[in-house]
Structure 1
Amino acid sequence: MPPQNSASRRIKNISISKPIIYGNVAEKISESNPLPEGAPADHSHTWKVFVADPLGNDLSSYIRKVVFKLHETYNNPTRSIEEPPFEVTETGWGEFEIAIKIYFNNDCGEKNITLYHHLKLHPYGPQLEESQRTGKVESILFDEIVFNEPTERMFKLLTSKPGSLLPYKSETSKFTKEAERQELDRIEKAFDEIKKQIDEKSVEFKELEEQRQRLAT
């Protein structure tokens, strides 16, 4: 078997993680945020979905492109962004799931990964008061891409800046696992509240139907 070259040879027992944030920001159409020319008249928000570094570092050293798969009702729903900033700006009125596929540089020997993000336009919970004041909504999650036994070339790319092998920590960044857990907790509570209201309405409808049947006899 021929020896591997340095580009494809992997470094054993090494894992490197890179922090990213992904999600969306949205803003209601208003006098200060008018509907862009050519956008459908029934669209109520402008929004941006993105993948970025929490501290603003350049991801293109190891990310080749990011493909965002929007709802099929959008023109050209598959948007391929091949240079930073890795983001798509659009308008809309409804929420839906966006698939975000990250492609790494061709010569790094890493498989593509896919993330999923639910586009958020409407506020709830702690965000409600702030959104009513600003007209803006954020749904941003923190994550880490882990490279297990990277190739030598990928290792050089990932460690090109000092401190790359140190555990990632930022006292100034608000994008943390705790913030993600809080967001998921808010979603779960919202679902529970919706289910509760549906159950209550079902009981009311059942009682009304029973009354209607009694009156009809």
Structure 2
Amino acid sequence: MIVERNIKLVTEQHNIPKPSPMTEFPMKEWSVKIYLLDQAGNEHPANCFTKVTYNLHPSFEDKTHQTFTEHPFTCENEGWGEFEMSIDLFTTEKGGKTTVYHDLNFQSPRYEAIQTVTFKNPSQALLSILRETGPIPNEDDSKASAKARKANDLKKKKAAFDFEKMADGLGKLNEEDLLQVIQMIHDNKADDTYTKNDIDAGEFTVDLYTLPEHLSRMIWDFLVDLKHIS
């Protein structure tokens, strides 16, 4: 399974009163933050990542590789030069590392860049996080398949039992036998079996199509034994 999401890199920068090694270029304080976007473009915490490593210009020396583990993974530094950095995005998945590239420039005080990140075969935990910002491929197909299987099971059930005959046979029961069937239903019904017991009116209603197969068989055999159906 492949899931794609957009992330937003937000860069902010401003001049600071510090001497620059390049007199024609003022010193800057800059920062980069990372957000996850939903389908409408709204920002969310990028909690699909466990850590983010910014790989800066070699001139940063011992601070060339900077790693952050808390949202929004803010990388904040000082410098005078523009450069392209690579950013490693990590998840808990095996081989869960994605690298994007970001142009650090000082053309605007604040600018945004949107990148697409691909998640390959994400775990259920990661899928749960990604589901908050958009659909998961094939999930709708899976739901449709489950619905189709349920419909197919119902067709098989209808073929096994003639519910019209069953309803007709139940209508022929005397009070004692009817109470036995009602108890049979109470003891063996499934969670989705529809029943309604109107005590005041002395009526008991059941949707025969919602009976589990074993209960349908029990009632069918009971009616056959009484010769109410054949």
TM-score normalised by length of structure 2 = 0.48
The secondary structure found in structure 2 opposite 1:86 is coil
The answer (yes or no) to whether the contact 1:24–1:50 under 8 Å persists in 2 is yes
| Equivalent position to 1:72, from 31, 43, 58 | 58
Aligned residues: 127
Which whole-Å deviations, capped at 9, do the CAs of 1:147-176 have from their partners, x for residues lacking one?
Answer: 2443333323322x3x62079xxxxxxxxx
Offset, 1:115: 0.9
Query: For residues 82 and 57 of structure 2, what CA distance do their matches in structure 1 show?
Result: 9
Q: Which has the larger radius of gyration?
A: 2
RMSD: 2.4
Equivalent residue number for residue 142 of structure 1: 114
Offset, 1:93: 1.1
Amino acid at match of 1:147: F
Query: For residues 152 and 166 of structure 1, what CA distance do their matches in structure 2 show?
Result: 11
Residue 17 (1) aligns with residue 14 (2): no
The answer (yes or no) to whether the contact 1:23–1:119 under 8 Å persists in 2 is no
Equivalent residue number for residue 32 of structure 2: 49
Amino acid at match of 2:27: S
Query: For residues 105 and 10 of structure 2, what CA distance do their matches in structure 1 show?
Result: 9
Equivalent residue number for residue 211 of structure 1: none
Which whole-Å deviations, capped at 9, do the CAs of 1:6-29 have from their partners, x for residues lacking one?
Answer: xxxxxxxx43222211252222x2
| Equivalent position to 1:113, from 77, 81, 98 | 98
TM-score normalised by length of structure 1 = 0.51
Residue 91 (1) aligns with residue 78 (2): yes
Stretches of structure 2 lacking an aligned partner (at least 5 in a row):
21-25, 138-230
| Equivalent position to 1:63, from 49, 55, 61 | 49
Larger relative contact order, structure 1 or 2 (CA cutoff 8 Å, min sep 6)? 1
Sequence identity percentage: 20
Equivalent residue number for residue 134 of structure 2: 164
Query: For residues 51 and 71 of structure 1, what CA distance do their matches in structure 2 show?
Result: 19
Q: Which is helix-richer, 1 or 2?
A: 2
Which whole-Å deviations, capped at 9, do the CAs of 1:119-167 have from their partners, x for residues lacking one?
Answer: 111x2xxxxxxx5xxxx252x22122222443333323322x3x62079
Query: For residues 74 and 89 of structure 2, what CA distance do their matches in structure 1 show?
Result: 12
Query: For residues 57 and 110 of structure 1, what CA distance do their matches in structure 2 show?
Result: 24
Amino acid at match of 2:102: H
The answer (yes or no) to whether the contact 1:101–1:115 under 8 Å persists in 2 is yes
